Amino acid sequence: MESEYTAIHGLMQLLKAQNNSPADGTGIMVLVDQAHNLLGRNIPPVLTEYTLGLQPALFGGYPDKSDIVPSAIFVASFLILMFGHLFIFFKNYSRGHYFYISLSWVVYCMMRIVGFALRIVWAKDITNTRIGITSEIFLILPSEVIVSFNLILAQRIFTWRHPVGGSRKLFWGVMIQLYVVVVLVIVMTIIFQSFPSIYLLSPSMYVKYQKVVQASSILIILYSLTAIALLALAYFFKPTKKDENLYTYQPWWIESFSPFYFVKKGAANEAAATFMKRTRNHRHAIRVIAATHHHHNMVEGLSNDRGGLSHNYSLAIILVTTLFIFIGSVGRAVALFENKYKKDQGAICHPVVMYICWGLLEVIINLLYLIGRVDLRFYRPDRLPLDVRSIITAEQSLYQSETGTMSEYDVDSGSNSQEYKQEKVHKETDSEFVF
């Protein structure tokens, strides 16, 4: 474009000199406003095409008329998925089964709907830079939301397999710090995705900006793998003796992970009521997800007929969904490290690639969540009501009295010495976290 000194090139050089020679690809919002002031409401297509060619290449490219149909398809797809998540949440809620992570996927679907809907608007007027910036932000952020809640699901599997380590304050401190770092990365992504489009930057400042954005893309890639890393830790290290001796509170009333299964109405409340007659250690047992195969003792209710519940598919859901998000994160990072203008952009910036990574693959992710019934597989029992948790019962002695007898609930613990060990382990853990 710059090989011939055309009238458009001369006009842009004039604007560039007027703006103190900023770097190409920055301040598009400012340049569009100046073009409207100079040329009126309708900017000539040749000027639009010239300026667009000097904008930084985006993962998915800049939309045109051909993007309207695929974007509309994904708006409809994520709208249906959103209603699917809402249906399961309210159906569960009506039965006393509270799995609030479902609402996070509702918010995620809403963000995807907004992102693709704004892309349709942007495709109709590429000079509408405010809509374009907002669309890009709402297309980038949802993937990070999915990764964050995948990490919570992986954390629940880790705590199920290692109830002692997964309940320690040290472990929770590390996880909370990780979530804080993620929030900072999200904020950084929002700022640096919009900053160069809003402001005119000098060439040296623009180079620094590019390095920061590239660094954030690497952090996003690493973060997308944290769920798999946590699962690897959970299965690389075998459960300890303390894990095997510690009692856990699993939702024994969940009998199936079938797509059409819903728990019995009020089952969770009925289970909580049984703890009024239990020992303190049972009432303060570590809350973990449901599973038939476990590596430690389990506080059971009146029935242990729970069907065949395993976590092979649960692990597969986390692994597959994390891999799909990882692919999209790598694609965006490649586009950033190529560091090209739109006129020279590579194949990774083709819209089809974006529609596959942020559209098709994420539709499959949500179908896995819905059909795989993540709301059952990763449900952790709610905290017992305050009136149950506050019951004070006599603690057992290390030695059995000559005339004393053991209750049916004491028998479950195996022996007085085991009850003492259980109490000691509970003092080393903290089970009051709510995640």
Give the range with max mean pLDDT: 46-55, 158-167, 356-365: 356-365
Q: What is the mean pLDDT of residues 42-54?
A: 86
Residue 156 to residue 409: CA distance in whole angstroms: 27
What ranges in 40-168 are assigned the alpha helix state H?
45-53, 68-94, 101-124, 129-161
Q: What is the pLDDT of residue 363?
A: 96
For 330-354, b/e burial (b = at least 16 CB within 10 A) is bbbbbbbeeeeebeebeebbebebb
Residue 408 in this model has a pLDDT that exceeds 80: no
8 A C-beta contact, residue 262 and residue 95:
yes
Give the dihedral of Cα atoms 258, 259, 262, 263; nearest 10 deg. 30
8 A C-beta contact, residue 302 and residue 250:
no
Q: What is the pLDDT of residue 287?
A: 80
Residue 303 in this model has a pLDDT that exceeds 50: no
Residue 205 to residue 196: CA distance in whole angstroms: 10
Q: What is the pLDDT of residue 131?
A: 93
Side-chain half-sphere CA neighbours of 236 within 13 A: 6
Domain boundaries, the chain: 7-53, 58-393+415-435
Q: What is the mean pLDDT of residues 78-98?
A: 94
Q: What is the pLDDT of residue 337?
A: 93
Whole-structure pTM value: 0.83
pLDDT band per the 50, 70, 90 thresholds, residue 404? very low
Residue 17 in this model has a pLDDT that exceeds 60: yes
Residue 21 to residue 41: CA distance in whole angstroms: 25
Sheet holding 298-299, edge to edge: 286-287, 248-249, 298-299
Residue 157 in this model has a pLDDT that exceeds 60: yes
Q: DSSP string covering 200-244, please?
A: ---HHHHHHHHHHHHHHHHHHHHHHTHHHHHHHHHHHSPP-HHHH
8 A C-beta contact, residue 209 and residue 201:
yes
Q: What is the mean pLDDT of residues 77-97?
A: 95
Higher-confidence residue of 6 and 322: namely: 322
DSSP type of residue 319: H
Q: Is the dihedral of CA 411, 413, 414, 416 positive or negative?
A: negative
Residues in the chain: 435
Closest among 168, 217, 207, 254 to 427, alpha carbons compared: 168
Taking domain 58-393+415-435, whether its CATH number is 1.20.1070 is answered by yes
Residue 301 in this model has a pLDDT that exceeds 50: no
Q: DSSP string covering 247-300, please?
A: -EE--TT-----TT--PPTTHHHHHHHGGGGS-HHHHTPEE----SS-SS-EE-
